[in-house]
Amino acid sequence: MAKMEVKTSLLDDMIGVGDMVLLEPLNEDSFINNLKKRFDHNEVYTYIGSVVISINPYRSLPIYTPEKVEEYRNRNFYELSPHIFALADEAYRSLRDQDKDQCILITGESGAGKTEASKLVMSYVAAVCGKGAEVNQVKEQLLQSNPVLEAFGNAKTARNDNSSRFGKYMDIEFDFKGDPLGGVISNYLLEKSRVVKQPRGERNFHIFYQILSGASEEFLCKLKLERDFSRYNYLGLDSARVNGVDDASNFRTVRNAMQIVGFMDHETQSVFEVVAAVLKLGNIKFKPESRANGLDESKIKDKNELKEICELTGIDQSVLERAFSFRTVEAKQEKVSTTLNVAQAYYARDALAKNLYSRLFSWLVTRINESIKAQTKVRKKVMGVLDIYGFEIFEDNSFEQFIINYCNEKLQQIFIELTLKEEQEEYIREGIEWTHIEYFNNAIICDLIENNQTGILAMLDEECLRPGTVTDDTFLEKLNQVCATHQHFESRMSKCSRFLNDTSLPHSCFRIQHYAGKVMYQVEGFVDKNNDLLYRDLSQAMWKANHSLIKALFPEGNPAKINLKRPPTAGSQFKASVATLMKNLQNKNPNYIRCIKPNEKKAADIFNEALVCHQIRYLGLLENVRVRRAGYAFRQAYEPCLERYKMLCRQTWPHWRGPARAGVEVLFNELRIPEEEFSFGRSKIFIRNPRTLFKLEDLRKQRLEDLATLIGKIYRGWKCRTRFLLMKRSQIVIASWYRRYAQQKRYQKIKSSAITVQSYIRGWKARKLLRELKHLKRCNEAATVIAAYWHGTQVRREYRKFFRANAGRKIYEFTLQRIMQKYFLEMKNKMPSLSPIDKTWPARPYLFLDSTHRELKRIFHLWRCKKYRDQFTDQQKLIYEEKLEASELFKDKKALYPASVGQPFQGAYLEISENPKYKKLTDAVDEKIIIAEVVNKINRANGKAASRIFLLTKNNVLLADQKSGTIKSEVPLGDVTKVSMSSQNDGFFAVHLKEGSEAASKGDFLLSSNHLIEMATKLYRTTLSQTKQKLNIEISDEFLVQFKQEKVCVKFIQGSQKNGNIPTCKRKNNRLLEVAVP
């Protein structure tokens, strides 16, 4: 029954020990066995107080779902099973509710799951903070910055397929509500040496393989790349493909992430061009040449690669080629140019590739910061997430491992300091006496490395800057002189006699006793890697590029800003960055995630105890537990403590009415726990020994079983009583319903019988009445029939003689009526179609129906014409009215008329309003234009024609010049008296004007048009509408036209013309114009 209890503490159903502070006995073996037991049951998280130990399961577990997020949201840290979400929630709530800036420090060696842990923390915070379009955009940008930085800063190593080769610290900024506003990312020590060389079984940075696998052929062509990995010397081929990693899909993810973060298309293109240039730099090869002065010189073997690099970066090929062959040294006012041999040329090439990629990565971080930085100026709360390299101990440890381990020494130092500080503050806050805790202080190791006078980094910088011959061996000699007596420094060359017998230490190495163990470093490459020199000629060549991004990456190449001061060394830069980081972390409330790798095979369900033991030692986890247990191993607020253990005391069970502290005191006194095993703080109970806590848990477990038995007994009794009472109530209800049913059934039976008897009686009475009524009706009908027959006999006797005289006429009328009915019925079935032009009509069946037949035909034709007219719109009616008018005026009179019947009357043949040439004419005419057409005006002097625009409005007839649109003549409709035309197939017509009118001063108009019928009809109808007088239309082959004071006869004759079918006009004499019509 205890399994049914709601989980309210990590102590419930605990596999092993969820908090290592409670582990008994505490030693290295029990620590490892506890981790293994939990790991075997898929419990990958364990606490050390508020520190989370995370073991990489190397497989997906169903413990990161949205349901899990909600389960850990706003819950006490120790309320549920250990989980990274509990730490993230605790940090977020402290930031939001208590206004404390937070930092989450994630440490562990490569492959332990640090990067995934940082992603989980960020995804949890993104899930539990506020919602909204702007907030969601900020969260999405913060989350999508990870794929970009992983592509450019992560690589496959022997221990991890997605190893971060740089340190990352992200400050996420929140407003007062706890909603994210933006973030700032800091990066530390990118492993740029990986660009030019990778250990066996490892890869270069992911982005190189992603471009070659996922980019389209067109995009690769733009970058001048080929898809084959073997074409590039900087890419290791033995691990080019990684199982379970889809580089093509990851490339698409990176491009999408860059777009979401805010990279412009041209910026993305520039970034990939720089990556392509770095990749192609590795293909440049050099050959030795001897100069006349005896000096060795290097030349590029194949300049094709150099040409493509210059095309990508916009650098003059000759400038870059010279930078690979010569080195210019400036000292005050002097410049000395020296040639580079092949080894120096390869060094310069690799240095350029490393610097180019390293600066590109730093630019990416800066560009991402510009996009994700908070836009508001209000005060912000900050949560920092530190994902940085763990302590590294390899077979061959060089400069990179040295500064990485230095960083971890500083993190261990701040971890111990802040943990002790947190313990001490809590004891003081709760009023518990603080006792000094003995622990190893690694400040002496940090001082050995970072001391400004005698530190290893200071010695390295001094050796790099001094004149003369500087080698790694001289650096080691200097260390032997300065650090020989230091208890954490060992060297074979040391003059201290206690090391002379240590033959396991090579001559070119030194060893440091770190907090995590001894690490041997090979001094080879220390000086060069610390110098990190890039020849000034290469910097200047990069600055001269026509590529905006590359130019921005090398500002020191600007000749106007030449600085002869030596740039800071890599070691001093990293030391300054670590100091800034430590200062930042000390101002925040720390939260720790210690990541552990269970095996070297990256396989699930394998727990290598030796490997885990090694990591436990250098992470200092046992020492962390001892620090937490030096005082009191367990502490808990009074309220949850009383709530958890109140069933162990009769006075506190089931409810305690007083203060929680008083209840806990009563509880502990009742259980007779020794006073030295616990102390009462202001708000918490402190338990010194884990055995005391486990004793309480055992008592609670036993009591819960007793309570479960009691609850089961009470529940069964309650259930039986409830069932009995339910059955009793049910029996009463059933009995009452049955009695009601029986009485209703009896009543219905009596009611049915009464109705049946009543129906029979009413039926008998009705039948008796029906018989009497039928007898009376038959008597009345018999008398009526007898009387009717008698009267009929009398009438027939009286009128027989008259019937015989009129029989013929009656038969005739009846026969005629039947014939008419048959005629109309037949006509109904033989009716023609409703088309008005259909001339068919059924034949007349009888001669006497001739007039009726014709009249019926006429009526039917009129009816179907009306039906046809009813279908017309107003516009169609107007058109047909005009056509009808034209028919009445010209049918059988004008030979041109039949050709015009099928042509629609359009009126506006010129689009005057849309032609800018006629704007003056449009402005002058403010009336509606009924017809607008080009006509030919006949000259009375020679019979030749001139083009004019003929306009007809409601009140006027206008003639205008066709070219300019100028109005030549304007005649009111009232001044038009007659229109004359021939009966032949021509378009000539004369417009006669009223004598004495102003318009008639120049005489009548003789015109020619292709639409004569339409123009004459519209002129006729418009004149009739305006003047209420019919316009005289004269059709004659000879008529007179008034030209000023003269009258000229216009005569139409038949004849063949040279111009084909076009009529021509010719002046015969002063009184005759002859028109020849073909």
Residue with tokens 């014939």: 819
Contact present, 384 and 169 (Cβ < 8 Å): yes
Amino acid identity of residue 376, one-letter, is: T
For residue 4, pLDDT over 60 is answered with no
Contact present, 459 and 436 (Cβ < 8 Å): no
**CA 784 – CA 801 distance, rounded (Å):** 27
pLDDT, the chain, mean: 84
Residue 37 CB partners (closer than 8 Å, separation 6+): 15, 16
DSSP letter string, 826-869: HHHHS---S-TT----PPPS-GGGHHHHHHHHHHHHHHHHHHHH
Give SS3 for 442: coil
Contact present, 893 and 983 (Cβ < 8 Å): yes
Nearest to 194 by CA among 157, 247, 226: 157
The larger pLDDT score, comparing residue 291 to residue 401, is at 401
pLDDT of residue 497: 39
Helices (H), 905-1064: 919-924, 1012-1027
Nearest to 223 by CA among 259, 281, 272: 272
Q: How many CA atoms lie within 13 A of 965 on its CB side?
A: 15
Active site members: 110-111, 115, 160, 163-164, 390, 392
Range with the poorest average pLDDT among 145-149, 629-633, 837-841: 629-633
pLDDT of residue 775: 92
Query: What's phi and psi for 389, nearest 5 deg?
Result: -55, 145
**CA 168 – CA 361 distance, rounded (Å):** 12
CA dihedral 135, 140, 142, 144 (to 10 degrees): -170
Contact present, 510 and 499 (Cβ < 8 Å): no
pLDDT of residue 461: 85
Contact present, 128 and 81 (Cβ < 8 Å): no
For residue 90, pLDDT over 70 is answered with yes
Tokens, residue 124: 């949890």
pLDDT of residue 215: 92
Residue with tokens 């994210």: 180
Q: What is the largest CA-CA distance in the chain?
A: 179
**CA 273 – CA 267 distance, rounded (Å):** 10
Residue 523 CB partners (closer than 8 Å, separation 6+): 472, 473, 475, 476, 508, 509, 510
Residue 86 CB partners (closer than 8 Å, separation 6+): 52, 72, 75, 77, 80
Nearest to 616 by CA among 164, 117, 167, 112: 112
pLDDT of residue 804: 64
Give SS3 for 594: strand
pLDDT of residue 639: 82
Residue 587 CB partners (closer than 8 Å, separation 6+): 101
Of the chain, the end-to-end C-alpha distance in Å amounts to 123
pLDDT digits (tens, 9 = 90+) for 825-876: 888 888 888 888 888 888 888 888 888 888 888 998 899 888 888 888 877 7
Nearest to 857 by CA among 870, 874, 838, 876: 838
Tokens, residue 40: 């075997």
**CA 643 – CA 660 distance, rounded (Å):** 9
pLDDT of residue 494: 59
DSSP letter string, 737-774: HHHHHHHHHHHHHHHHHHHHHHHHHHHHHHHHHHHHHH
Report strand pairing: 1064-1069 vs 1032-1035: unpaired
**CA 359 – CA 357 distance, rounded (Å):** 6
Burial of 150 (0-12, 13-18, 19+ CB in 10 A): buried
Contact present, 936 and 949 (Cβ < 8 Å): no
Residue with tokens 């450019």: 152
pLDDT confidence of 514, banded at 50, 70, 90?
Answer: confident
pLDDT of residue 499: 45
